[in-house]
Structure 1
Amino acid sequence: MPVYPLPHRPNLANIRKQAKTLLAAWQAGDDQAVTRVRQSHPRGERLERVRLADAQVVVAREYGFASWARLVQHLRLTPQAQALHAIDLLFRADSGEPSTVGQVLDHRVDLLWQAHLDGHPAVAVLLTGSPVTVDDVRAAIAREHGFADWAAVPDRDRPVDPHFEAAVDAIVSGEPDALRALLTTHPELVSARSPFGHHATLVHYVTANGVEWSRQWQSPRNAAEVMRILLHHGGDPDAMCDVYGGSTPLGLLVSSAHPANAGVQAALVEELCRGGANPNGLDEDGIPLWTAITFGYPPAVDALARCGARVDNLVFAAAVGDLPLVTGYLRDRGRITAQRIGIRGPVLAADHMIEYALIYSAGLGRRAVVELLLGSDPDLGVIEPRFHSTAAGAARYHRRHDILALLEHRPTGFS
C-alpha cells in the first residue's frame, strides 16, 4: 500500500474533496481509482460498493493513518503536535518488523535520516542544527527513547513487545475499546514496562511526560477513561519510572503541559488518587502538590487538595487559595517556619515565606490571596528557588494580567 506525506499546511476541507473525487472516479469506473481502493482499503478486494466513508478510509490510509478519524484528529492538532504525531506515524509505519531494542533504534535512525534527506518538515522537532549528520540522527533517536546517547544503549537484544506498543498507541490516540481488548487478551501488559530507557508503564504514558517525545503529541479528551481502564486492570498508580531521577505517574502528570492544555489534568489526578496514588507522594513529603504549584497548574493544585493533599504551610495555603488559612499564618507569624519540600527540594527560608507564597499565588491566579499578602509589605524583588521568578515574573509567564497589573501598580500603602 503506497503511503504519501500530507501536503504542507493540510486543510481538512481539501482532503474531504479528495475523498469525494476518489468516490466519483470509482463510480465512473476509473482504473486508477479502483486500484487505489483495492490496495488501500482494508476490505478493498471484497468491496462491491464504495461509499464516501470507504473513500475517506482510502485517503486516510494513503496518508499513513489507520482511519479517517485518526486523520481528522491529526488535522485538529497544533502545528507542534502535528509534527510530533508525524514522527510517531513515521516510526509506526513498519513497526511490525523489528523485534529488539537494537533493531527498532537502527530502523528509526534509517527512517529519520531518510525523512531528513527528503526534506520532511516534521524532523525539526527531533533534529536541530545544520548540517545534520547520521551521528546526529543516532544521538537524537537515543535521546528520544530515554538513553543518554547512542553508545549508552544497553541490552540491544531486549525484545520490543508489539502488543505493548499497540497499547501505547491506543492510549495516546484515545481509543479505549482497543486498549480494553488488548488488556483482556494480554493482561500482563498492565504491569509491563517499556524496554526503552525510561522504563515507563502504560499508566505513565497517560501523563504524556517523560516518555518518547513522539508519543507526547496529545492528551486525548477521554484520557480519564483511559486511565480508569488501566487502573481497573491492575495498573500501579504509584509505579516509578526512570525519568527525572525517578517519577511516579502523579508527579509526571502535575508537571505535564499536554493534559493541562487538554483540560483533563484534574480529572486524571482524581482518577489516580481514587486508584490508590498517594496525593502526598510516596515519601509523604508533599512533592505532588509542590510540583503542581511550581509548574503553575491550578486545576492540578485544586484536585490534589480535594484528594487529601496536606496543606500545612503558608506557601501551600496560598497556592490553594485558602484565605482563612493564609490569614491565620499572617496573624501568628510564629507558625511560619522554613520548609524543605522533598529530600532533594530547596529550603524555603522562613524570612521569605510570605514572598514565596506571593510568587506562587500570583502564578496560579489567586488574586484574593495576592491582595492579602501585599498588605504584609513583601519584598517584590525576591525570587523563588525553582524557576528563579519574582511575583511579577510568575504572573507574566502564566498570563495573569490582572495580577501583574496589581503588582506593578501596588498602592503606596502596600510599600
Structure 2
Amino acid sequence: MLPQRPNLDQLRRQAKELRDRARSGDTDRLGALPVTLASAQLVIAREHGFASWAKLKDEVERRTTDLAQRVEAFLEASVDGRTGRAVRLLAETPAIAGHDFRTAVVLGDAARVRDLLARDPGLATRPDQRSGWTPLLGVCNSRWHRIEPERAAGLVEVARLLLGAGADPNGAVGSPGRRGHCSPLYAAAGLAGHPALARLLLEHGADPDTPAALYHTAFHDGDHACLRLLLEHGARAEGSATLGAAISVDDAQAVRLLLEAGVDPRVPLPADSLAEVDPATPPIPAVTAALEHDCSAELIEVLLERGADARAEAHVMAVRRGRTDVADLLTRYGARDDTGGIDRFLGACVRADRAEAERLRPPLDRLGTDDLASIVHAAYHDNAAAVDLMLDLGFPLDARGDDGATALHAAAAAGGLRTVRLLLARGADLEAVDTTWGSTPLTWASVGSGFRMGHAEAPDWVAVVQTLIEAGASPHEPWVAGKPPSGEVGALLRRYGLAPENDEDEAQA
C-alpha cells in the first residue's frame, strides 16, 4: 500500500531499478511482460494496488499536490478541452469551486462573480499573472457549458457582468496567426462553441472577422449555430479558408451556408486550410479538394451549383477513386473526359469489380508510384474487397502512399479491422516504417484512434491494436508526444505494459 505522503520520484526510481534488474536477467517480477520501463511501472503500480501506472500517478498527485496547484490544473483543463480531467479535479477537491475569482468565472458562478466585482471592480480587467489571460478570455474558453449544460446561462451572465465592468470584447492575447493567439470571440465561437456567448460578444462590439473565429467554427460547430451567427454579422475575411475547413470535414451544410453568404467557390483554397502543411503547396481548386477529402456527392454538387469549376482533372480523379457518382456529376456540369485505360482500371479495382478490372488490366510495369498507391487509399477506407483484388492483380504489399505509408499503416490508422486482418494474412510487414516519421502500423493505429482518422464505416481501433500486438508487433513507441491515443486504446496499451516512457501523456478523454 502507498504511504500517506508517497514520493513519485522514488516510485519512478523503483521502476527503473526493476527494469535494470530485468535487463540483467532477473525477470521474476515482470513475468511475461516485455522488459521495458513501462512494464516495470505497471508492476510497481500493481504491487501498490493500482491497475495502471497512470492511476498510481494520479493518486500520488492527489495526495501530494496542494490546493493552489490543483486549482491551476483545474483552470487549465477547463479551458483547453480536457473536460474529463476538469471534472475529476473538481469532484476530488470541491473546494476548488470557491477558491478564487478565476474558478467562479470558468464555472459560470454569476452570483459569486457579481459579489466579488462589487468588492473589487478591477477584477473584471485584471490579467491572470500566470497565463496573461483576462477573465473574459477565461469565461469564453470555458467548456463547462458542455460538461454541465445547466451552467451555460451562468457563463453568459458572467461575461455580461465582465463586459459591463469594462472588459474589452476584442481584447486578445498573442499575435494573430501565431501559436497562443486568442480573442474572446475566437474562443467562444471557434473553440468552445458557445453561440449565446458569441452573440453577447457581437452585441457588445466584437469584430466578427476576428482572426481564426470563422475558420474554426467549421471544425467545431456541429449544429452551425456559431457559423450562422458570424456570417449574419458580416464575417467574410476568412471565407476561402473556412470553405476549405468545411470541405476537409465533409460538411455539406457548412459549405452551403458559406456559399450563400457570398464565398466564391471558384477561388482556389489555401493549402493550409486543408491540413496541407507544406508552405510551397499551391492553392487547391474546391472540387479537387473535396475529392481529396472523399467528400459526399451532395457537397460536391453544392460547389458545382454555385459555380465551382468542373475540371477534367477532377473527373479523372473521381474515376480513379471509383467515384462514379461524382464522375457522372462532373460530366453533367461540363467536365471533359480525359480518362485513360489505367484510370478506368484503377476505378474498377476500387469498386472491387473483378471482371472489369481483369478486362482493363495493364502490364504491372505500366503502373507508376501514384497508381500503385491506390491500394493504400483503399486500405484507408477499410475497403478490404478492393485491397484483396489489387493484391490478386499484383499490387505489391509494400506500395507507398501519402507520408510513405503502406496499406497496413493506412488500415491501422483508420481502425479498419477487416483490412488489417486481410493484409496480415497476405503477409504484410508488421514492422514496416513510414518514410516521414519512421513509425510502424501500431503507432499509426494509436495516433489514428486519438484523431479518429480514416474513412472506415465501423472503425475499431481497440481491436486493430490488439490484433497487431498479438500478431507480434514490436512496441516501437506507440505513444507519440502531443498525439495521444483514445482513452480505450490508451487503456489497452497500458494493459500490455506499453505506457509512455514517463506516463506524462494522457489518453484523450
Normalising by structure 1, report the TM-score. 0.42
Normalising by structure 2, report the TM-score. 0.35
